[in-house]
Amino acid sequence: MMIHHALVLNLHQPSGNLQDLLEHQTWEAKEILFALDRIPRSLWGHEDRARVHLSLSGTLLETLSDPAFQQQVYGIVDCGSLLWHLQNQSLFEVVGTGYYHPVLPLIPEADRREHLRRWLGIAHHLLWRPRFQGFWPPEMGFSMELIPLLRSFGYRYVMVDSEHVEPVTEMSWQELRYRPHIARHGDDEIIVVVRDRELSDAQESGMDLDWFLGEVAERTKWCDFEPLVTTCTDGENGGWFRNVTEGANFWSVFYLPLLERLSAGGSNVAPTFISTYLDTHGVHGEVRVRTGAWNTGWHSGKDFTQWMGSERQRRAAADFGPVSRAIHDARWFAGERGIHEGTQVEAIDRALWHLLRAETSCNLYWGEDWVPRAESDLDASRAALSEIGIEVPIAEEPMPILESGVEDAVASEAEESAAPVSGQVIEDDSNSTGR
């Protein structure tokens, strides 16, 4: 029996992070750049068998395509060539994500759409795909209410963590974990591809090929179908991916030997693209996915504790709501009045940019260390709105500790943001200079 292995790597660096590391922690920045550059270089000549899914955040793509940054790191990594090599559709199936890498269930609904729309803009431009079939939720933060949004952007499948998937249709443990399924929300449905959490944990920290093949064989031995085993981790974080020594990193110790074993007929585990598997084997049954994220070592992902564990983290997250409502109301009023350029539109655009950047998952990930970054961008967003006479109060209460009902709380907040604020007016400025 053939066992299909879908390797998924998440690649993300927050806005300005690589530039900051180059200045203050140069070797770490080089390790990250080398890890990114190593991905296509490791796979050259293996187009017949190598298959890798990549999620690249919009901020990482923005950095790699910035001419000033390209010049800064030339001699370390040729970013232009790296982006060119990532266009190789024989090796890479690129999956969509959010531009600033937000935990989608923790931000207002209107902002989710902005993150997805902006990512598609830069990805179509740089990666030359007519369509991105799969979607990678940043931090694997997923709730069922995301399904209509993902379908509206044309996504065929979404990846979720095995910890949060439960069957609607009766199925075995093997079927639940190693077959794609349908998940429904209202009138919309999407294919769910399940990440094997335990195998992914091993992939993250370093694993022996023989152990992996044996473990996969044991987990799938009762399958009466060709299973899809999906492993997902970051692709440029941790020593296993960053190690520059040949024979001491993921590619040279695990992945290339896997391809060699397969070519020699010594393995029935074959890399595959998820889209290819779906075209051949289809889907099986229906599931529901509990709201949650992937595990981060000590944190299971069930209650978003990694991002919402302290009051300061939850206050920052709560503040996304009122700022978002004010921005989207202002955009609505501007559109109703036919205002498409000028100082008002520039201020709204600037406020939205700061808000979306504030929602970066990293700002809430590191305990309270990076929360000031979110707070600073929220302050800048308020200041931009203040320039056009819109004052936004700070959220009075921190966001509650979120469990399975997070989608209800965020949906309620989104409903509030759908209606414009009474009495809010944006004056026309016909003499202002357009963008």
pLDDT at 115: 98
Query: Which residue pairs from 334-341 have beta carbons closer than 8 angstroms and sit at least 24 positions apart in sequence?
Result: 334/426, 337/426, 337/428, 339/426, 339/428, 339/429, 341/432, 341/434, 341/435
Percent of the chain with pLDDT over 90: 84
pLDDT (tens digit per residue) in 45-78: 999 999 999 999 999 999 999 999 999 999 999 9
Whose CA is closest to 307, among 212, 225, 385, 399?
399
Percent of the chain with pLDDT over 70: 92
Rounded distance, CA 202 to CA 348, Å? Answer: 45
pLDDT (tens digit per residue) in 240-295: 999 999 999 999 999 999 999 999 999 999 999 999 999 999 999 999 999 999 99
pLDDT (tens digit per residue) in 297-344: 778 888 899 999 999 999 999 999 999 999 999 999 888 888 889 999
Rounded distance, CA 170 to CA 69, Å? Answer: 52
Q: Measure the CA angle with vertex 316, ends 58 and 309; round to 5°.
A: 100
Model confidence band, residue 416 (pLDDT cutoffs 50, 70, 90) = very low
Mean pLDDT (whole number) for 100-113: 97
pLDDT (tens digit per residue) in 195-212: 999 999 999 989 999 999
Rounded distance, CA 290 to CA 306, Å? Answer: 17
Residue 30 burial (CB count, 10 A): 17
Whose CA is closest to 31, among 234, 219, 255?
234
Whose CA is closest to 305, among 367, 228, 222, 379?
367
pLDDT at 404: 53
pLDDT higher for 355 or 433?
355
Rounded distance, CA 169 to CA 165, Å? Answer: 12
pLDDT higher for 361 or 130?
361
pLDDT at 413: 43
Rounded distance, CA 232 to CA 203, Å? Answer: 8
pLDDT at 432: 32
pLDDT at 429: 34
pLDDT (tens digit per residue) in 15-37: 999 999 999 999 999 999 999 99
Rounded distance, CA 391 to CA 340, Å? Answer: 21
Task: Return mean pLDDT, the chain.
Answer: 91
